[in-house]
Amino acid sequence: MAGIGIVAAQCAHFTEALKLKGGGLLPAFDLVYETYGTLNAAKSNAILVCHALSGHHHVAGRTADEFGKPTANIGWWDNIVGPGRPLDTERFFIVGVNNLGGCHGSTGPASINPATAKPWGADFPVVTVEDWVDSQARLADHLGIEAWAAVMGGSLGGMQAMQWTLSYPGRVRHALVIAAAPKLSAENIAFNDVARQAILTDPDFHGGHFYEHGVRPLRGLRLARMLGHITYLSDDQMAEKFGRRLRVGAGSYGFDVEFEIESYLRYQGDKFAGVFDANTYLRMTKALDYFDPALDFDDDLARALARARAGFLVVAFTTDWRFSPERSREIVHALVHNGQDVAYAEIDSAHGHDSFLMDEPHYHAVVANYLKRIKP
């Protein structure tokens, strides 16, 4: 089925200061976003797609080059958004947004700090999932959307969907929480911290003010991504895709790339380090670590979720060990405890945490079937 074709980003500027959970105040900010489909007259068919750690607003379609021709830059969740796809642009108005602190156009560490006229760098505040949701609510206001038909996301995006139901219970009718968790485990935080240390200890990091030194902490960012990438895959998938296969001419008993998996990870690391901002990476992982809606409720997730009024679809993947199905079931059982509406699907998939991005027919059918219950 054809996708949605050429898309273009828009930018919303917000002049009212945003109070941050960490105590800071962001005086003004931009959010870059894309929309697909048509907002109906009642403005009741809007779905917000929240991105994960390395995502952005370009969810679907292709951007255009200077001649108006489609480029190879296809949205990161294009396989699920479009006419006839689960997030059907014939029925829904889909919004993708780049989160605050990001590096794809929304205000972030590389933006200019109005107080110093220099890039924010290390001075850009640590933003939380709650802050993101507050900023996204401003975008909803800007678009005239009183309540989302659904807020949806995978991984860190799923946490935003969950937070939406808690921060703005009356403004979200359904939450699709995919490959997420109600909070990070010590192991999750440990992986994040190793990734952060890789960046923080890179000599080119300059305490986060590397922009003014004309360098970027590529080595740290590359290591962080390599480590992260391992946690997104499954052992089985890695064994099947790479096994212990050697590259041609390998077997030198040295430390050059020998095994295919090394080659793959280095490629992924390089690719990512070339385009991503280290300060953004630090903040995205911190937002993950801090997310814990049950914290203020004596660690009682059911009590924390009690104020949600949305219906939930929770989806987990069997080989996801970063946010395992068990973690999703914690969310499900808390909702059942409260008598809230929830459906839960556990999808057989070989692709580990990354499964949520894959074009897996059963998974997509689950999402499509759930969205059919939404009457715009």
Partner 1 sequence: MNHALERADFDLIASWVQPGERVLDLGCGDGSLLKRLIAERGAKGYGVELEGAAVLAAIGNGINVIQGNLEQGLSGFDDQTFNHVVLSRTLQTVRHTERILSEMLRVGREAVVSFPNFAYWKNRMAVMAGRMPVSEDLPYEWFDTPNLRFFTLLDFEALCAKMSLVVRERQVLDEAGRLVLEEPNFLGSLAVYRLAR
Could you give the residue numbers annotated as active site? 155, 320, 353
Find the shortest distance in angstroms from Cβ 329 to partner 1. Answer: 6
Q: Kindly write out the interface string for residues 293-322 of this chain, putting x where it contacts partner 1 by CB under 8 A and - elsewhere.
A: --------------------x---------
Is position 373 an interface residue for partner 1 (rule: CB under 8 A)?
yes
Question: Tokens representing 291?
Answer: 């997310």
Burial class for 147, CB neighbours closer than 10 Å (0-12, 13-18, 19+): middle
Is position 52 an interface residue for partner 1 (rule: CB under 8 A)?
no
Nearer to partner 1, 145 or 301 (CB): 301
DSSP-derived secondary structure for 128-146: -HHHHHHHHHHHHHHHT-S
DSSP 197: H
Q: What is the rounded distance in angstroms from the CA atom of residue 165 to the CA atom of residue 173?
A: 8
C-alpha neighbours within 13 Å on the C-beta side of residue 310: 30
Question: Tokens representing 334?
Answer: 């808390």
Residue identified by tokens 């109600």 is 182
Q: Looking at 72-80, 175-183, 231-239, 368-376, which segment touches partner 1 (CB under 8 A)?
A: 368-376
Q: What is the rounded distance in angstroms from the CA atom of residue 367 to the CA atom of residue 346?
A: 12
**Choice from 164, 191, 291, 344 touching partner 1 (CB under 8 A):** 344
Q: What is the rounded distance in angstroms from the CA atom of residue 85 to the CA atom of residue 292?
A: 32
CA distances from 305 to 24, 299, 309, 345 (A): 26, 11, 9, 19
Q: Looking at 38-46, 86-94, 97-105, 341-349, which segment touches partner 1 (CB under 8 A)?
A: 341-349
Find the shortest distance in angstroms from Cβ 327 to partner 1. Answer: 12
DSSP-derived secondary structure for 165-179: HHH-GGGBSEEEEES
Nearer to partner 1, 270 or 341 (CB): 341
Is position 347 an interface residue for partner 1 (rule: CB under 8 A)?
yes
Is position 112 an interface residue for partner 1 (rule: CB under 8 A)?
no
Find the shortest distance in angstroms from Cβ 370 to partner 1. Answer: 5
Find the shortest distance in angstroms from Cβ 175 to partner 1. Answer: 14
Question: Tokens representing 74?
Answer: 């296809």
Find the shortest distance in angstroms from Cβ 195 to partner 1. Answer: 32
Count of residues interacting with partner 1 (CB under 8 A)? 22
Interface contacts to partner 1, rule CB under 8 A: 313, 329, 332-333, 336-337, 339, 341-348, 362, 365-366, 369-370, 372-373
